[in-house]
Amino acid sequence: MNKKEFAVIGLGRFGGSICRALSEEGMEVMAMDIDEDKVNEYSTIASHAVVGDSTDESVLKSIGIRNFDLVIVAIGDNLKASILTTIILKELGVKQIWVKAQNDYHEKILSKIGADRIVHPERDMGKRIAHNIISNNVLDYLELSDEHSIIEIVAGQKIDGKSLIELDVRANYGVTIVAMKRGRDIIVSPQATEQIYKGDILIIIGADTDISRFEKNLIEE
């Protein structure tokens, strides 16, 4: 299979860090920005770095944007440029278009014009941090939908030594423990007889209301 090729348009902090991370993972990544200084900054990091205005269809055509497997539009403040770029990419038949949204209104438009994935880094990170602040036990949190999440939570004294069957979390709380981390070990799909120990990290999936009941009754001291 051919190596996947990515393009990042807009090299602000967000686009820039995606570009850097992809390159560090050994991926082919083309970096593009209207600002020459930004492009120079990434010329040794990305596989190719080009100066260009992504709202100009001919520029995108000339770099063969259609051939990339995934294009990330990381133009932040300039909503008009972000929307126009997305429309052109869509019209040119780019397979996967991921776009950074600046606000809810921007997100709505992007989904209407067919962006394949809309990322909202500030909002999502804000929510994750808020969960960490509210509960000391929640290490990480991933929103699956408006009502469902996956969380990483630390087991405390209350459930120390209890087996999954004893707790019967699925029947009692409607949540599923999909994996457990104990030190360096990861137990994926733990068996019903598996015991939980204080300090284990539980990875739980479920409805937010159920997760919160689980947390209140079994985790909070």
What are the residues binding ligand ATP (CB under 6 A)? 9-14, 32-35, 38, 53-55, 74-78, 81, 100
Q: Which of 16, 70, 9 is nearest to 42 (CA)?
A: 16
Q: How far is the CB of 42 from ligand ATP (least distance, A)?
A: 10
Q: How far is the CB of 143 from ligand ATP (least distance, A)?
A: 20
Q: How far is the CB of 34 from ligand ATP (least distance, A)?
A: 4
Identity of the residue, 31 or 159, whose beta carbon is nearer to ligand ATP in the bound complex:
31
Identity of the residue, 38 or 131, whose beta carbon is nearer to ligand ATP in the bound complex:
38
DSSP character at residue 116: S
Q: How far is the CB of 132 from ligand ATP (least distance, A)?
A: 21
Identity of the residue, 16 or 190, whose beta carbon is nearer to ligand ATP in the bound complex:
16
State the residue number with the nearest CB to ligand ATP.
76
Dist CA 6 CA 19 (whole Å): 9
Q: How far is the CB of 12 from ligand ATP (least distance, A)?
A: 3
Dist CA 84 CA 69 (whole Å): 20
Q: 5 to each of 48, 79, 136, 190, how far by Cα in Å? A: 11, 26, 40, 37
The residues, any chain, with a CB within 8 Å of residue 105's CB and separated by 6 or more, are none
Identity of the residue, 84 or 138, whose beta carbon is nearer to ligand ATP in the bound complex:
84
Identity of the residue, 106 or 135, whose beta carbon is nearer to ligand ATP in the bound complex:
106
DSSP H stretches of helix in 92-218: 104-112, 121-134, 164-167, 169-173, 208-214
